[in-house]
């Protein structure tokens, strides 16, 4: 469904990633892991066309550069890392903005009904009339997840969806993502900082290791040796109630 063929990504003359060759399959949850500054966000940005691309990124067999923005917005929705807004739009107005690709004019009653459904799904109904400028970083993250869901795309890309969330909301968001895959067959791609979340909730993992990329089943890729090579830290796999976890030393 998403294929990277000999892709090189740069910001102007500054080359960030090269020799990217992999496929992300439909209906799978894929995590992207790697140390700060290795290029995870850059990789996701390439799916928005925000980076200079050499080689080919194919979405459903079509080169990403051939899509019009509106067409792409019906296929891929993005949840950014953090999003500041200076105007005090209410939460429900931000979320309904996810309908933009589907409408020609102002949002209809039906669009607000759809946004309400996703506001409920991520558990922020109590915030819907509150200005976005008056909610916390974690709550903002949930707002942008609801907004992306409102776009009703097959693919959802999330840049560190748990970074501002407390432990309860981290689990809620991971379960929402799992549920989207199970019930709606969505393809989810997310950057994460916690290998244990990737191990527990994603089918596949793409890990940056010394400038190159390894991809495979999460349980195979997230291991002692790759963690050492990628992050330079020691770890051990432990098993609890038939689940695998990493213990960091
Ligand atoms: N707009 C930009 N222009 C030039 N260089 C950039 C730009 N954005 C990021 N970079 C550089 O690209 C490299 C990769 O950054 P990127 O944000 O993709 O890493 P990351 O793995 O997502 O990091 P983190 O885990 O800290 O969020 C870094 O060296 C960064 O300085």
CA distances from 112 to 16, 47, 108, 119, 146 (A): 40, 27, 7, 10, 12
Please report, for the chain, the start and end positions of each structural domain, with discontinuous segments joined by +. Answer: 26-37+69-248
For ligand 1, atom 23, name the residue with the nearest CA: 37
For ligand 1, atom 2, name the residue with the nearest CA: 11
Give the architecture (CATH level 2) of 26-37+69-248: 3-Layer(aba) Sandwich (3.40)
- With a Cβ cut-off of 6 Å, ligand 1 is lined by 11, 14, 16, 34, 36-42
d(CA 80, CA 33): 16
For ligand 1, atom 17, name the residue with the nearest CA: 41
Would you give per-residue pLDDT tens digits along the chain (249 residues)? 899 999 999 999 999 999 999 999 999 999 999 999 999 999 999 998 889 999 999 999 999 999 999 999 999 999 988 767 778 899 999 999 999 989 888 899 999 999 999 999 989 999 999 999 999 888 888 899 999 999 999 999 999 998 888 898 899 889 989 998 998 899 999 999 999 999 999 999 999 998 899 999 999 999 999 999 999 999 999 998 888 999 998
Q: Ligand 1, from 10, 14, 40: best to mutate by most atoms within 8 Å of Cβ? A: 40
Neighbours of 92 (CB within 10 A): 22
Model ipTM over 0.90: yes
Tokens of 135: 């909610």
Whole-structure pTM value: 0.94
């Amino acid at each position: 469904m998403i294929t990277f063929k000999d892709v090189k990504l740069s910001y102007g003359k500054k080359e960030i990633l090269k020799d990217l060759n992999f496929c992300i399959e439909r209906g799978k949850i894929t995590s992207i892991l790697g140390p700060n500054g290795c290029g995870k966000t850059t990789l996701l940005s390439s799916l928005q066309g925000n980076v200079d691309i050499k080689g080919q990124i194919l979405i459903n067999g079509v080169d990403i550069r051939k899509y019009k923005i509106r067409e792409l917005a019906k296929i891929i929705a993005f949840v950014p890392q953090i999003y500041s807004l200076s105007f005090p739009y209410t939460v429900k107005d931000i979320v309904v903005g996810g309908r933009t690709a589907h409408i020609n004019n102002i949002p209809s009653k039906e669009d607000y009904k759809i946004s309400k459904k996703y506001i409920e799904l991520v558990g922020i109904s109590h915030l819907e009339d509150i200005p976005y400028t008056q909610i916390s970083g974690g709550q903002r993250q949930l707002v942008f997840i609801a907004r992306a869901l409102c776009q009703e795309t097959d693919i959802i890309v999330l840049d560190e969806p748990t970074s501002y969330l407390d432990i309860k909301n981290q689990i809620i968001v991971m379960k929402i993502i799992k549920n989207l895959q199970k019930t709606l067959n969505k393809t989810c791609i997310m950057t994460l900082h916690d290998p244990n979340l990737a191990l527990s909730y994603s089918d596949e993992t793409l890990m940056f290791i010394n400038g190159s990329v390894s991809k495979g089943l999460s349980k195979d890729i997230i291991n002692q040796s790759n963690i050492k090579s990628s992050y330079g830290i020691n770890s051990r796999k432990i098993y609890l109630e038939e689940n695998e976890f990493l213990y960091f030393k």
